[in-house]
Structure 1
Amino acid sequence: MPASNKNQSNVDYDVIIVGGGMVGLSLAGLLLEQNNKVAVIDPKAVESDWPEDSIGQRVSAITRASERLFKQIRAWEFIGEHEKAPYQRMFVWDGESSRGKIEFDASLVAEKNIGHIVENRVLRRALFQSIERDRQLDWLCPERCLSVDYQQDYAKLELESGRQITARLLVAADGAFSWLRKTSGVGQEQKPYGHKAIVCAVKTQNSHQHTAWQRFDHHGPLAFLPLADEHYCSIVWSVDEAYADQLLALGHEAFAERLSQTFESTLGVVSLASKPVAFPLIERTAENMVAHRLALIGDAAHTIHPLAGQGVNLGFSDAIELSKVIDQSLQKGADIGLKHRLRPFERARKSEARAMQLAMQGFKRLFEQEVPLIQMARSHGLALSDKHPLLKQKLIRKAMGL
């Protein structure tokens, strides 16, 4: 495919991506396939080496749709088999009642697995390795932005190094506290969930059985996500802020004991493999995902509760949709940075992100209820859903992004 039409303005790049995390790098891979000249700016170098026995603090549940993206841009091949943990089953139960449970199995949709659990540092390294040698890419790192200036035909960034660079389109992929979003004057709505997510790695007495486990009670959801070693899991424990502070104040042994009790010793005795850390959970929604010569993707555009593990996958879907809209403009010889050219991306992605946010709000409210009648209805609902294969097939495919 020919490169974009440079006659419209004398710019350094077609697209500058501010933020070289997983979502920003995935977009860079897609844009480079279209023969765009791309710059990626990030203050933090890509981690490429770590102790063999260490476990990353943060992991992501990679859907089949995201896996296809990584394969398309040749990043999947840079993730070793020992670095990705496929899971065949999901088991979800209501901790307030023994009858409320639902189980999902990949065999229901004739698939080998539902998805993979991969450490975020592994994903970022693989995405970077897949594009680092591309001649159309400039990796500006470590680097920070100082100012942005939007003109009719281009956008200009002034960098901390003193360099000034221009592009027809800027993309904010710099996270929930996006500098580019704020500096560009795009507002953001915030709704605190009142929860903190505690994350750490644990060792379990029994095998995780290649299953993603999730238990709900009135404090919030507790997920055990399987890692490559069958006796290790990454946990995400989302609880109200006061209870989170109490848990973090416990010693490691006491924390592990409370964790095992809450998990009903489903995988036997649990011990910590890394130090628990917590971060507040806030639903964030940018007022707009596009403006003149600007598009927002990933956490810069929206954040959701992690109970369904879909946050980063929403970001990957943003990257896919934005690259499609850019390609459509290129095919027509049109200016990729004009707001009306970017609007199809915003329409497609804003509605899906909002639907996911509403679903997460609903789940949170439903499971934090302590009213016995509501708990009973919730429990029966899970049990009835577990008996309907067609419904479960639909839910599995949705979770896989198919």
Structure 2
Amino acid sequence: MPASNNSTVNVDYEVIIVGGGMVGLSLAGLLLEQNIKVAVIDPKAVESDWPEDSIGQRVSAITRASERLFKQINAWDFIGQHEKAPYQRMFVWDGESSRGKIEFDASLIAQQNLGHIVENRVLRRSLFQAIERERQLGWLCPERCVSVDYQQDYAKLELESGRQVTARLLVAADGAFSWLRKASGVGQEQKPYGHKAIVCAVKTEKPHQQTAWQRFDHHGPLAFLPLADAHYCSIVWSVDEDYADELLALGHEAFAARLSQAFESTLGEVSLATKPVAFPLIERSAETMVAHRLALIGDAAHTIHPLAGQGVNLGFSDAVELATAIKNSLQKGADIGLQRCLRPFERARKSEIKAMQLAMQGFKRLFEQEVPLIQMARSYGLALTDKHPLLKQKLIQKAMGL
């Protein structure tokens, strides 16, 4: 679709995306599909080669909705079968109770799987491979932005190299500490969870059974996410900040022993495959997702607790909705950078994001309670939900984006 608008000012690109991570590249793919001239700016080159036996530190749980996006922009085929780990089941239990558990199975909704676990570096590489040969793409990487200037008809970025580039619309997709958001004067509300997430890869004695496992106790949730090798998982262990520091101070064997104990040895003995690292968990919300010639997506706009594995999937949904808003504006001959033309995107996304943030806050507060009566109530709640197939179907479909 050729780009058109009411302005007579020439620009270098219709859209410049600041941030070439997974979410930024997914938006680029959607816009290039519409034949829109797009530039992507990022300080880090795309990693495309690594030792065959290495394991990436960070992974994402890709929902079926996000899988559809990857297929639409032809990125899914660039992920090798050995690089994506489908999971058929989710098993969640309350570590403070013997009754509180719930199991989700793909067969309940006649699906082959509930989603895939894929390393973040693989996702970024596959998205780049899908778009790198597009003639409408400007790939400014590695490159950094040093200043931004918003005019009536365009926005201008000055780069560290001295180059200046202009566009009708700038998109902040540069993460939770977004340079573009800050440089554009968009404020941010922060609510620390008081948790740190510890991530690493582990080898397990027993096979993971293509199951995503999650155990809750008063310290926080511990997830074992299945990798392609049946004896390897990626873990996300969200715990109080002080306890996280205590765990990270342990040697590898002592950490693995503490991890096995917290996981109730569900998959037998555990050994570390990568070094554990931790990062603080903070709920963030930008004061607005749109402004004059600016839109925010992904972690630049919002962050949530990782306990439901929905963070990056919310970002992918942002990209889909923004691409739709841009397409609709172009079809009407409207200026894609006007705030009023971006409002439909913000309205479409804010309710889902807020609902997810409230749900994550609620789950965290519920499971950190050590009051016996509350523990008993949540235990019975999980058990009752597990006995209602229709309710479980709806929960699965919502989580998968179906």
Q: Match for 2:87: what amino acid?
A: Y
Secondary structure of 2:93's aligned partner: strand
Aligned pairs for 1:3-402 within 5 A: 3-5=3-5, 8-402=8-402
TM-score between both structures, scaled by the size of structure 1: 0.99
Q: How far did residue 353 of structure 1 move?
A: 0.6
Secondary structure of 1:130's aligned partner: helix
Deviations 1:3-35 (A, max 9, x none): 334853210000000000000000000000111
Counterparts of 1:129 and 1:21, CA distance in 2: 13
Q: Is the 8 A contact 1:154 1:169 kept in 2?
A: yes
Q: How far did residue 351 of structure 1 move?
A: 1.3
Q: Is the 8 A contact 1:56 1:121 kept in 2?
A: yes
Q: Is the 8 A contact 1:4 1:14 kept in 2?
A: no
Deviations 1:330-382 (A, max 9, x none): 11111000000000000111111111000000000000000000000000000
CA RMSD of aligned residues (A): 0.7
Q: Match for 2:302: what amino acid?
A: H
Counterparts of 1:362 and 1:190, CA distance in 2: 16
Deviations 1:32-71 (A, max 9, x none): 0111100000000000000000000000000000000000
Q: Is the 8 A contact 2:5 2:336 kept in 1?
A: no
Counterparts of 2:28 and 2:381, CA distance in 1: 43
Q: Is the 8 A contact 1:8 1:335 kept in 2?
A: no
Secondary structure of 2:195's aligned partner: strand
Counterparts of 2:119 and 2:41, CA distance in 1: 22
Counterparts of 1:283 and 1:116, CA distance in 2: 25
Q: Is the 8 A contact 2:6 2:333 kept in 1?
A: no
Counterparts of 1:173 and 1:7, CA distance in 2: 25
Counterparts of 1:136 and 1:2, CA distance in 2: 11
Counterparts of 2:6 and 2:115, CA distance in 1: 41
Secondary structure of 1:8's aligned partner: coil
Counterparts of 1:118 and 1:401, CA distance in 2: 17
Q: Match for 1:360: what amino acid?
A: M
Q: Match for 1:361: what amino acid?
A: Q
Counterparts of 1:115 and 1:292, CA distance in 2: 37
Q: How far did residue 255 of structure 1 move?
A: 0.3
Counterparts of 2:17 and 2:196, CA distance in 1: 30
Counterparts of 2:184 and 2:145, CA distance in 1: 12
Secondary structure of 2:349's aligned partner: helix
Q: Match for 1:33: what amino acid?
A: E
Secondary structure of 1:176's aligned partner: coil
Counterparts of 1:87 and 1:396, CA distance in 2: 13
TM-score between both structures, scaled by the size of structure 2: 0.99
Secondary structure of 2:143's aligned partner: coil
Counterparts of 2:254 and 2:6, CA distance in 1: 62
Counterparts of 1:350 and 1:297, CA distance in 2: 11
Q: Match for 1:312: what amino acid?
A: V
Q: How far did residue 97 of structure 1 move?
A: 0.3
